[in-house]
Every structure is written in C-alpha cells, then in structure tokens.
Amino acid sequence: MKVLIACEESQAVCIEFRKLGHEAYSCDILPCSGGHPEWHLQEDVIGVINREHWDMMIAHPPCTWLCQAMRTNAARKDRPKISAIFIEERDRGYDFFTSLFNADIKHIAVENPIGYINGKFRKPDQIVRPWMFGHPYRKDVCLWLKNLPLLKPTEIVPGRKKLDFWSTQRNPNGVSLKSKTFPGIAKAMAEQWGKL
C-alpha cells in the first residue's frame, strides 16, 4: 500500500508502516527528525497529493490556531490585535484541514486536538488517548476518518499524567514534543489500518 503521512516531520507513523512493508512517506515543509530522509518529502503536501496516487493518507495538520487553548487566549478583550490575527490564521488552518480531509484518496485519517474543527467541521469519528496504547499520559487525539475503521485500544495502562513536560520540550526542528504521535498510537495505525 502507498501511504502518505502528511505534516509529519517526526516520521513516527511513517516508520511503523515501513516496518510492515508498506511504501510510506512522511511529508512536511520541515526536514525530518526521524532519521530516514529517503522516506521524507520536504515540500507542500497539497502538491504531493495532486501529483501522485496514494492509497491512504494520515494527516497531522498544525493545530496551533485550531486548538481550544488558542481560542481561549485570543478571545481576551485586552488583545484585539491578536484576535484579528487569530481569526485569519484559524480560517487558513481550517481550509487546510478540509483540503486534506476532502483529498481524492480512498482512506484518510486527519488528526487534531479538541478545538475549532469539532464545531465548525463536525465532531470527530473517534477520540483516542495515549493511555489506551501503552503510554500513561492524558492527551485527547481527535480522528476524522474516511473509509477507515475506528482504532482499537492495544494496551490500556494506569496513570494519566499531564503532558506538561512534553509541551516544553522541543526536537531538533524546534517542534514541540507534545505534538509528536505517541509510538503506541503510530503502531496501532500501521497494524490496524495497514491491513486494508
């Protein structure tokens, strides 16, 4: 299966699909930090979608302007300039999200946290959490699915720690580790959706 992992510089999901023998590529405007540049397309994902045929796409569009925390921060009355920038960037983020979800690819999963997409687009098909896949952390990961089944939990673990540590840590590209896909979730995506 030919799989595109959109907006993924970490290559967490890409590597899991590659382990199972799929022709998977990560794609991001940033260089990859996963150690496999030969599997990374460093360019605009919309061009990649329009240029090649893909059997599946798993997309992780930036959530900076779409998440609940940003909306709350921008709504403060003492920040009128931030509010105007926020609305413009939020709308741009929403358009990018919908262009990914509506791409001409048979199997699609688009991931984002709880926020603007949930109300403007529609509720997610599923919300998964790291503790359902072997990691004792709390983080709501919303999935909007097209022709894909819901992910089944693989290893429910106790302990629901906040991601405060991860939110302050950054990888070599300056990307917050909080936005990286947990290995257990990446593995479940590859093992369960890779069987289609």
Query: Is it the case that residue 28 has pLDDT exceeding 60?
Result: yes
- CA distance linking residue 153 with residue 187, whole number of Å: 11
Domain covering 2-193: architecture: 3-Layer(aba) Sandwich (3.40)
- CA distance linking residue 52 with residue 167, whole number of Å: 35
Domain ranges of the chain: 2-193
CB 129 within 8 A of CB 138: yes
The answer to whether the pTM exceeds 0.75 is: yes
Beta partners for residue 146, in sequence order: 108
Dihedral sign, Cα of residue 43, residue 49, residue 52, residue 56: positive
Alpha helices in 34-127 (DSSP H): 45-51, 68-74, 80-101, 116-120
Q: What is the pLDDT of residue 81?
A: 61
Q: Which residue has the higher pLDDT, 113 or 184?
A: 184
pLDDT in tens, 143-189: 999 999 999 999 999 878 877 644 555 555 555 555 679 999 999 99
Q: What is the DSSP string of 133-166?
A: BT--B---EEEEEES-PPPPPSB--S--B-SHHH
